Amino acid sequence: MAVQRTFSIIKPDATERNLTGAVNAVIEQAGLRIIGQRRIQMTEDQAKRFYAVHAERPFYGELVEFMTSGPVVVQVLEGENAVAKYREVMGATNPAEAADGTIRKLYAKSIGENSVHGSDSEENAAIEIAQFFSEADIAG
Ligand code: RTP
Ligand code: MG
């Protein structure tokens, strides 16, 4: 399996509860390396563009409002099979369905306020990383 990159966001419900380090500990214990990281306040335009794929979904407005409600930490993760590995480490979208030990089982508040984002494919990972990082801000 090849070394891949994936894109991660520690969402506002987690930064608000001072859980950045706790989330990063789970990521690193899973063998993923944090090779880029920045704390930002997402603008409405950034959040709308990032979640454009969900524009027609009923929760889109709520999602954009949530993602701009406080600071987020955007990250580039690297490791063997990183895209699928991080999805596994995050757990199911709905924390009630997330497996024990996953970030969402440990920390998510609800299906909307679910602490982390992770890319769902290698192609989307590249697009999402490019939205928030230049190569100069990534060091593997
Ligand atoms: P993500 O994109 O954030 O990594 O999460 P995901 O793939 O597990 O879930 P996705 O279907 O892509 O949904 C994106 C985010 O929208 C919010 N959501 N709210 N209220 C709802 O029913 C609902 N469903 C989804 C969550 O914040 C989810 O992570
Ligand atoms: Mg998704």
Predicted ipTM of the assembly: 0.94
Which residue's CA is the nearest one to ligand 1's atom 2?
Answer: 117
Domain ranges of the chain: 3-137
Instruction: Give the binding-site residues of ligand 1, using a 6 Å CB cut-off.
Output: 54, 59, 63, 93, 111-112, 114, 117-118, 120
Rounded to whole angstroms, the Cα distance separating 89 from 59 reads 24
b/e map 104-131, b = 16+ CB within 10 Å: bbbbbeeebbbbbbbbeeeeebeebbee
Output the CATH code of domain 3-137.
3.30.70.141
pTM of the model: 0.97
Phi/psi for 23 (5° steps) reads -65, -45
Return the closest-CA partner of residue 20 out of 89, 76, 94, 71.
71
pLDDT of residue 1: 75
- CA dist list (Å): 27 to 9, 65, 81, 90: 12, 26, 14, 9
Q: Which is it for strands 116-118 and 33-40: parallel, antiparallel or unpaired?
A: unpaired
**pLDDT tens sequence for the chain (140 residues):** 799 999 999 999 999 999 999 999 999 999 999 999 999 999 999 999 999 999 999 999 999 999 999 999 999 999 999 999 999 999 999 999 999 999 999 999 999 999 999 999 999 999 999 999 999 999 99
Rounded to whole angstroms, the Cα distance separating 7 from 76 reads 5
Q: Which ligand is closest in space to the CA of residue 108?
A: 1
Q: Which residues does the annotation mark as catalytic? A: 117
